[in-house]
């Protein structure tokens, strides 16, 4: 079976909603709008509004031990001299290297970190149940359900921010990492800043649910509902519930530059990627190793393929180099996947992935 790949990026013909023009260029490339930033001066002016206002801290930053959030913390503390309170959701799948990175960063920068988690076993049990249900009818659109706990952290972040008299939260997610194929698969917009067609998304989600009704009895619906209501800090529900909170992304002001991010944190914060995988991206949560294979198995596209495709469109990397990196960095050793699955008492054949 041959797979067609866009002649400009790395997206394959299996990508949801994809089509190609006569030159073999995909519609994701054709409708792509390049990243825009507001500039560092605007950022500093904005941060100054929150500097030294009240309480012990000027702002809060969510961290994972991964590269972008670590860099965000470095910029705020070192470059902009803000008093930062870091917060981390202690996910049971957090990699040891991510934990070491957070400890080292806190020590070097001299900052406080709040670590919070759900009651013992709750997250692991929910993931196990969701994964088992998913494996009965593998579908890319239902993969987010296995991560429901991690999509529920905004209300907790806001609660801790209020308790510490902080009203500004800065996040380090980069605009290129929102996988466009996932939104497109649910009938949403391909571009990050374009609004999705909500009725379309609801209809598609409902069809997905009906195709595998085991979700109805095996998934915590209050959790899933709150995931949909609060997965994004800019959801209407959270905006209404936490009017006093302002959330900004560092990379809306300064351009995300992968090598600048990695060299800064490596040199100044002794940051390291996890030794168990080749990629320096998304090793902070080890469940992501399995998710990569779940996406690959169901839609033939991984989030790394999507990210590298966007980097090509941005002119940050050549297509040849991106292909080379994809081969190396998207490879997760089978022993690592087996190890992650053993945490939820599952084995590789249990999740019925193709190509494994
Ligand atoms: Zn393309």
pLDDT of 1 reads 45
- Of 206 and 288, more confident: 288
Give CA–CA dist 182/143, Å, rounded.
10
CA of 202 to the centre of ligand 1 (A): 27
Pairing verdict, β 84-89 and 246-249: unpaired
Q: What is the CA radius of gyration of the chain?
A: 20
- Higher pLDDT pick, 113 / 138: 113
pLDDT in the model for residue 140: 84
| More confident: 333 or 231 | 333
Is residue 5 scored above 60 in pLDDT?
Answer: yes
> Could you tell me which residue, 200 or 318, shows the higher pLDDT?
318
Between the CA of 171 and the centroid of ligand 1 the distance, in Å, is: 28
Q: Do the Cβ atoms of 317 and 256 come closer than 8 Å? A: no
Specify whether the CB–CB gap between 356 and 350 falls below 8 A: no
The per-residue pLDDT for range 216-261, each reduced to its tens digit, is: 888 877 777 777 777 778 778 888 888 899 999 999 999 999 999 9
Share of the chain above pLDDT 90, in %: 61
Mean pLDDT of 208-218: 83
In this predicted structure, what is the pLDDT of residue 193? Answer: 53
Domains of the chain as residue ranges with CATH:
37-275 (3.40.50.620)
Averaged confidence pLDDT in the chain: 89
32 alpha carbon – ligand 1 mean position (Å): 9
Average pLDDT over residues 31-45: 95
Q: Which helix H or strand E contains 266, and what residues bound it?
A: helix 258-269
**What's the pLDDT score for residue 16?**
84
Ligand 1 centroid, distance to 179 Cα (angstroms): 14
Among the ranges given (10-14, 17-21, 88-92, 219-223), the one the predictor scored with the smallest mean pLDDT:
219-223
Q: How far is the CA of 123 from the centre of ligand 1 (A)?
A: 37
Distance from residue 26's CA to the centre of ligand 1 (Å): 4
pLDDT digit string (tens) for 43-88? 999 999 999 988 899 999 999 999 999 999 999 999 999 999 999 9
Residues 162-188 have a mean pLDDT of 82
pLDDT given for residue 275 in this prediction:
93
Ligand 1 centre to CA of 251 (Å) is 23
Integer Cα distance of 244 and 229 in angstroms: 18
Q: How far is the CA of 7 from the centre of ligand 1 (A)?
A: 7
Of 327, 301, 323, 303, nearest to 312 by C-alpha is 323
pLDDT tens-place string over residues 269-285: 999 999 999 898 988 99
What token pair was written down for 354?
């193709």
To which H or E segment does residue 181 belong? helix 180-185
Contacts for 186 with CB less than 8 Å, ≥ 6 apart: 141, 196, 200, 201, 204, 205
Query: Please, is 217 exposed, middle or buried when counting C-beta atoms within 10 Å of its C-beta (0-12, 13-18, 19+)?
Result: exposed
CA distance 314 to 64: 26
pTM of the model: 0.90
**Contacts of the segment 192-196: beta carbons below 8 A, 24+ positions apart:** 193/33
> What strand order describes the sheet that includes 246-249?
112-116, 84-89, 59-62, 168-171, 246-249
pLDDT at 199 over 90: no
**Buried residues in 242-258 as b, exposed as e (16+ CB within 10 A):** beebbbbbbbbbbbbeb
Ligand 1 centroid – CA 319 distance (Å): 10
183 CA → ligand 1 middle, Å = 16
Burial class (CB in 10 A: 0-12, 13-18, 19+), 328: exposed
> Per residue in 131-155, pLDDT tens?
999 998 888 888 888 888 887 788 8
Distance, CA of 141 to CA of 227 (rounded, Å): 14
């Amino acid at each position: 079976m041959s797979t067609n790949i866009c002649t400009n990026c790395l997206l394959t013909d299996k990508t949801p909603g994809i089509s190609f023009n006569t030159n073999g260029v995909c519609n994701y490339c054709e409708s792509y709008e390049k990243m825009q930033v507001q500039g560092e001066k605007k950022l500093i002016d904005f941060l100054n509004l929150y500097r030294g206002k009240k309480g012990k801290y000027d702002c809060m930053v969510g961290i994972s031990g991964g590269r972008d959030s670590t860099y965000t913390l470095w910029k705020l503390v070192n470059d902009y001299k803000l008093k930062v309170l870091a917060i981390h959701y202690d996910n049971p799948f957090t990699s040891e290297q991510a934990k070491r990175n957070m400890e080292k960063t806190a020590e070097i920068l001299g900052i406080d970190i709040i670590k919070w988690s759900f009651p013992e076993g709750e997250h692991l049990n929910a993931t196990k149940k969701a994964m088992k249900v998913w494996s009965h009818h593998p579908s890319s659109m239902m993969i987010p359900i296995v991560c429901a706990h991690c999509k529920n952290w905004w209300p907790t972040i806001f609660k801790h921010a209020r308790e510490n008299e902080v009203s500004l939260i800065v996040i380090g997610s980069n605009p290129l990492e929102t996988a466009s194929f996932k939104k497109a698969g649910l009938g949403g917009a391909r571009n990050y800043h374009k609004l999705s067609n909500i009725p379309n998304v609801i209809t598609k989600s409902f069809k997905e649910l009906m195709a595998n009704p085991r979700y109805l009895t095996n998934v915590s619906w209050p959790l899933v509902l709150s995931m949909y209501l609060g997965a994004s800090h800019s959801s209407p529900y959270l905006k209404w519930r936490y009017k006093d909170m302002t959330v900004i992304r560092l990379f809306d002001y300064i351009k995300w530059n992968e090598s600048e991010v990695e060299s800064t944190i490596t040199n100044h914060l002794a940051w390291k990627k996890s030794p168990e995988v080749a990629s320096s991206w998304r090793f902070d949560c080890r469940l992501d190793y399995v998710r990569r294979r779940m996406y690959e198995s169901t839609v033939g596209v991984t989030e790394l393929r999507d990210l590298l495709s966007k980097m090509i469109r941005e002119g940050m990397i050549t297509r040849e180099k991106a292909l080379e990196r994809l081969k190396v960095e998207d490879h997760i050793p089978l022993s690592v996947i087996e190890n992650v699955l053993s945490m939820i008492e599952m084995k590789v054949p249990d999740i019925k992935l193709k190509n494994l």
